[in-house]
Structure 1
Amino acid sequence: MSVLAGVPLAGVGWVAVTGLLARSELLASQQALESLQQQVAEGSPAAPAQGAGPPARHRTQAAVRAAAEHAARAHRLTSGPAWYAAAHVPVLGGPARTVRGAAEAADTLARHVIRPLAHTATALTAGTRADGPVNLSALRGAAPELGRAALSASDAREDVNALPRRTWLPSVDRARDRLLARLDRLVPATGDVAAAARVMPSMLGERGPRRYVVVFENTAEARGTGGLPGAFAVLTADRGRLAFESFGNDTEMAQAVAAVDLGDEYAALHGHNAPTSTWVNSNLSPHFPYAARIWAAAWRQHKGERVDGALALDPGALSGLLVASGPARLPDGTEVTAGNVVDLTERSSYAAYRDTRERKRFFLDVARAVAQRLLGAAGDPRRRQALFAALSGQLGEGRVKVWSAHGSEQRELQRRRFGGALPDTSDPLAGLIVNNAAGTKLDYYLDRRLEWAPGRCVTAGREVTATVRLTNRAPASGLPPYVTQRVDDPPYPTRPGDNRLLVSYYATKGARLNEAVLDGRPVLVQQAAERGRPVFTLDLELRAGATRTLVLHLRESASDRPPAVLRQPLVRPLEEVVRPPRLCGD
């Protein structure tokens, strides 16, 4: 009997010991992946100087191999009869089940996700001469493996999400939450990479030359997709080789008219601001394909040329890319860096150049210098991998958006984050979008906060409260007149630094507004729709130094899923708070 009684105790001891060993292996795997991430971010040369150590591709391969080996050992340690039995003990087995599932997910990620991603990055940089084109055949060949990696990452997230949310061991619960948070970032990023591998070869001129209009958005004056469309360029792609044909500014496009019909909903919501005939208002909608179609049509009307697509990026994106490429230099010797490009283009230049024409020439100089620096880095094997990683990050953040005039490519792009499309699903959504209605450049100083909180269950749904808080942190004095000028000519007195915004909340499909409250008092808001989603808009005066709070009390369909948050990229990031929902009827 004493021998039999010792069997369960031995099993518990085995699980405890192997659990500690598995934890050590998982930490080692994580450290190897962090080393890999640092190598990519630093853009280590493919071939080091004399005595500098092994080439970067060998270090990358070593980091991937180490991560995979440690994760595989953690998986083996948490497999077997003892762990299976422990994971199925009612209540007490929760931590064992979580550790076992986390180790399996880590093994899957290391072998089936990280390894193909690293292999593709190496293939795109290895053997490429300086100033050479992007290796389109390597990219095309990697597409199937990257697609499988995206599916593996998604499956791993589903498996981790199915693990017990709360057990009697808080440290295990926290580890699960951290892993799930990483997967929540990794899954869409992996999907983006796989989609890019499918469409980039043709978009980069695999079968013939392509031409794109590239718009640089000025986020000091907010528009739906980000910022006001200012400077622009024409980018050509031919068999992987990129070049810029020309550069211009919004003055050149001021009279361009886009003959494009975007539907009755669009006209009702945005039409009074003439977005198809006024270049600076062409991207009032947060749905980027609308703006891109307007830009393509306006370019054809202006130049008589068709373009194959459109791209948009802002100074925040340029900052992220300059980290990888290194600084650019202007004709007067000014260095444009990751640390100063946002300030140069969106704040200090307004004080340095009082003449509008001089300032716009400065913007074009910055655009040219940075564009050429990025193209140079893309042709440099020592920097290409880091630049691709930086570009992937900016695409994922929505600071670089892409649209194709070719249907098959656009269908792929529109499903991804860098397509900039409003989600076309019935899943919960919370979107705060602001458009500058004053003509100021004060959105450089705008703070935004959005809180989404589910309330009580009601007939056929649940109550939801969306709280929007906006703060104008413009200084009381010292700003140039061009920054503070009010072209809206309001019928009430204003002071320098006061701003006016069209504040729109994009809600879940089918949502109904019960009440809107501004600064504690009921207020009427405009109710419209875009792509089938309800949109609630308020024309808001925002004094310098003031904070205003808009609360929307809504009724939405019941769901246990948190909302997707629509993030408008501006100078200062959106502060978002999403309270956890629960399914009505639980």
Structure 2
Amino acid sequence: MGTHDRRPAGRAERVFAWSLGAVLVVGLVAAAWIGVRGGMAVAHLSSARQTLQAAEADPHDPPTIAVALATVRDDTSAARSLTSDPVWSWAEPLPWIGPQLRALAVSSAALDTAVSEGLGPLSSAASGLSTDVLRPREGAFDTTVIASLEPEADAAATHLRAAADELSRIDTAPLLGPLRDGVTRARELVDGAASASDALHRATLLLPRMLGAGGQRSYLVLFQNNAEWRSLGGIVGAVAQVDTQDGRFALVDQASTSDFPVEAEPVVDLPGEVQDLFDTRPARYIQNVTQVPDFTLGAPIAREMWKRLRGRTVDGVITLDPVTLGYVLKATGPVTLPTGDHLTPDNAVPLLLQEVYQRYPDPARQDEFFRAATAAVFSALAEGRADPELLLAALMRAGSEGRLMLWSADADEQAILDGTTLQGTLPDDGTDRSTFGVYLNDGTGSKMDSYLRPSVDVAWCGQDSAVLGVTLRNDAPDPASLPSYVTGGGEYGVPVGEALTGVYVVLPAEGRLEEYASTTDGIPPGFAGGTLEGRPVLKWSVQLAPGEQAHLDVRVSTPWTPHLGAVVTPTIVSPAIGRGATGCGGN
């Protein structure tokens, strides 16, 4: 009886043992399956990376690039297939190992999308903008060829941005170090390609129109002087009108800012918050149209002032600075001025922002020199002397540094610029980034800012707290060695050799000012505040003698985001945005 009763139990134990064994075997097989396929996927992705690096050694050889892309496509497709089977998907919800598997699967799929759907059209469109296409023939650019590249550029931009978005959604916190580093590198690679393709797509839409493919266009060009700071770079020191038609462009007029009258009333209505921060000066003085850190507001003001001065209505406004001219000279080569000076990439900034004031105390002679330099560089461009590839690199660099901005009176064309640095607007925050704006404005009425050196740092102090650090140093030589036009001669109440600066700190879009503090070697700083486009603004006024420096810490409460940064007024030497701010206190 007892023996008979034990038989079912024995069979149950054997069934359980066999079941447990089967589960273990299946688990081991699944683990081995996933391990082998994961290793193979990583090997394919590593091979793809090495192939791309080899292709980068000769980016101007289309056959080599085509073969490389085909090889890379095979590798990314294999990696995607290896990480998307049912066994892999079954294991993704598991603790610890699951996030690793999911990250590898998403990365493989995103990279395959980027290569298969994005890099091919991008390479094709970019190769279409060959040196021959971008070099004028008999004084004209071929706008038809540029416009024909738009569909491929659009496809590349769409697919690469989709892949970049997929990679950005991967939570890297639980990932092992090597995988986390790999995902980070993949994000940077695809995001960079997406940004490049987006810029190319916008260029294929905008360039033909700007070059007069649909009829004559007129543009007002503002040359900013970084020796006297304004929020967007410097005061407007000279202006020119450039007309385009059928791919040709011509310099048709130039003027000095001294030619413009000081308007008794603003030429356009300014928002109340702008007047609270900057008074009405941006809409009464041509020199101050770049004082508001939003070129979409300043450009129409300059357009209206030009209309009143010359009676012409332009289709758009462009602004650049001497640093940009230096970049462009790398593409054109040196140009010779009527004075006999050779303007080169190396001497453009010191010659235009410092030496000219030593040489010509008379402002009228300075303006004449600036106009001659502008005309010489423009002639080199119009004559097709610029290396197209170097010119594109120069313009892209200037745009990324905020030195080159563009505004169009055509709403559709202006929309093409949305979200780019070419618009010159306040930093555009989103769910993945928080950005301070640091805008520098001269208060001395001089050219002393060529000797000031700003530096900026940002840091997270906690999950919902960020800090910005701004340091300003006066590296001017003995004031006795400088002409009064550079020092200001004390005309506006600032002692000779000292520099008064208004630093406008615009907080991140969701930021709230918590506290701020300043240390200074010079006159104690002053503080004021306001808002700009609904964002809180802190104004820091600081006055420094040669050799002195001051530091400001601003702490704000704002939701944590993966990226924390700052946009800073482009100066003679672009200030690096560091990550070592020290204003977190005990946190």
TM over 0.5: yes
- Distance in 2 between residues matched to 1:392 and 1:137, nearest whole Å: 22
1:571 aligned partner:
572
DSSP-derived class of the 1:226 partner: coil
Match of 1:325 among 321, 332, 338: 332
Given that residues 124 and 152 in structure 2 are in contact (C-alpha distance below 8 angstroms), is that contact kept between their aligned partners in structure 1?
no
Q: Is the 8 A contact 1:214 1:232 kept in 2?
A: yes
Please give the alpha-carbon distance, in whole angstroms, between the structure 2 residues aligned to 1:523 and 1:332. Answer: 43
User: Residue 165 and residue 230 in structure 1: after superposition, are their counterparts in 2 closer, same or farther (change >3 A)?
Assistant: same
Secondary structure of the equivalent of 2:476?
A: coil
2:213 equivalent to 1:197:
no
Residue 224 (structure 1) shift: 1.0
Tell me the amino acid that sits aligned with residue 390 of structure 1: A
**Are 2:525 and 1:502 aligned?**
no
Other-structure match for 2:406: 402
Matched, 1:555 2:557: yes
- Quick check: 2:426–2:437 contact (8 Å CA) kept in 1? no
Instruction: Note closer, same or farther for the CA distance 1:105–1:14 as it changes in structure 2 (3 Å cut).
Output: closer
Give the Cα–Cα distance (whole angstroms) in 1 for the partners of residues 172 and 39 of structure 2: 21
- Greater Cα shift, 83-92 or 205-214: 83-92
Please state how far the C-alpha of 1:106 moved relative to its aligned partner. Answer: 4.0
Determine the C-alpha separation between the residues in 1 that align with 2:272 and 2:103. 51
1:203 shift after superposition? 2.7
Give runs of aligned pairs for residues 230-309 of structure 1, distance below 5 A: 230-255=237-262, 259-271=267-279, 274-309=281-316
Change (3 A) 1:524 1:544: closer
- 1:211 is paired with a residue of what secondary structure? strand
CA distance in structure 2 between the partners assigned to 1:76 and 1:456 by the alignment: 41
> Structure 1 residue 226: deviation in Å?
0.8
Equivalent in the alignment of 2:236:
229
Question: 1:518 maps to what in 2?
Answer: 518
Question: Which SS does the other structure have where 1:65 is aligned?
Answer: helix
TM-score normalised per structure 1: 0.83
Matched, 1:335 2:336: no
**Residues 379-428 of structure 1: CA distance to partner in whole angstroms, max 9, x if unpaired?**
x7xx3344234323322332210011122222332432211122466763
Output the amino acid matched with 1:307: V
Q: 1:357-436 residue pairs with structure 2 within 5 A?
A: 357-377=364-384, 383-423=387-427, 428-436=434-442
Cα displacement string for residues 336-358 of structure 1 (whole angstroms, at most 9, x for unaligned residues): 22222122211232333334333
Match of 1:349 in 2: 356
Who wins on radius of gyration, i.e. which is larger? 2
How many Å separate the matches in 1 of 2:81 and 2:194? 29
* CA–CA distance in structure 1, aligned partners of residues 136 and 203 of structure 2: 23
Q: 1:568 to 1:80 in 2, by over 3 A?
A: same
Check whether the contact 2:479–2:487 (CA below 8 A) recurs between aligned residues.
no
Partner Cα distance (2:286, 2:119) in 1: 43
Q: List gaps (5 residues or longer) in structure 2.
A: 1-20, 582-587
Q: What amino acid sits opposite 1:266 in the alignment?
A: V
Pairwise CA distance, 1:215: 0.9
Summarize the Cα distance change of 1:306–1:14 in structure 2 as closer, same or farther, 3 Å threshold: closer
> Aligned residues: percent identity?
24
Report the secondary structure of 1:545's partner residue.
coil
**In 1, Cα distance between equivalents of 2:481 and 2:198:** 44
Deviation at 1:539, TM superposition (A): 1.8
Deviations 1:502-553 (A, max 9, x none): 1110113454333331118997621111222221112210222222111223
Post-superposition shift, 1:164? 4.5
- Residue number in structure 2 paired with 1:76: 77
Q: Identify the residue that residue 53 of structure 1 maps to in structure 2.
A: none
Cα distance in structure 1, aligned partners of 2:552 and 2:117: 46
| Change in 2 beyond 3 A, CA 1:98/1:362 | same
Structure 1 residues without counterparts, runs of 5 or longer: 40-58, 581-586
Q: Distance in 2 between matches of 1:481 and 1:533?
A: 40
Q: Is the 8 A contact 1:67 1:110 kept in 2?
A: no
Task: Name the structure 1 match of 2:454.
Answer: 448
Inter-CA distance 109–385: structure 2 relative to 1 (3 Å threshold) = farther
Structure 2 counterpart of 1:109, from 90, 103, 114? 114
Give a deviation string over 1:207-227, Cα, whole Å, max 9, x none. Answer: 221111101111121111111
Whole-angstrom CA distance in 2 between matches of 1:22 and 1:423 = 35
The farther-off stretch of 23-32 and 306-315 is 23-32
How far 1:288 sits from its partner (Å)?
A: 0.8
SS in structure 2 at match of 1:275: helix
Give the TM-score taking structure 2 as reference length: 0.83
* C-alpha contact (below 8 Å) 1:424/1:531 kept by paired residues: no
How far off is 1:13 after superposition?
4.5
Q: Secondary structure at the match of 1:237?
A: strand
Paired residues of 1:124 and 1:134 also in contact (CA < 8 A) = no
The CA distance in 2 between the partners of 1:11 and 1:520, in whole Å, is 61
What does the per-residue CA deviation read over 1:539-579, in whole Å, with 9 as the maximum and x for residues that have no partner? 210222222111223333x2435345323211121222358
- 1:33 lines up with 2:41 in the alignment: no
- Compare relative contact order (CA 8 Å, sep 6+) and give the higher one, 1 or 2: 1
Please report how far the alpha carbon of residue 168 of structure 1 lies from its aligned counterpart in structure 2 after TM superposition: 5.9
Match of 2:483 in 1: 481
Give SS of 1:430's match.
strand
Instruction: Give the match for residue 47 of structure 1.
Output: none
Counterpart of 1:270, as a letter, is: F
Deviations, residues 433-484 of structure 1 (Å, cap 9, x unaligned)? 1101102222223222223334456xxxx44332221122223467422464
SS in 2 for 1:236: strand
Change (3 A) 1:347 1:95: farther
Aligned equivalent of 1:43: none
- 1:29 Cα deviation (Å)? 1.0
Q: Distance in 2 between matches of 1:18 and 1:464?
A: 39
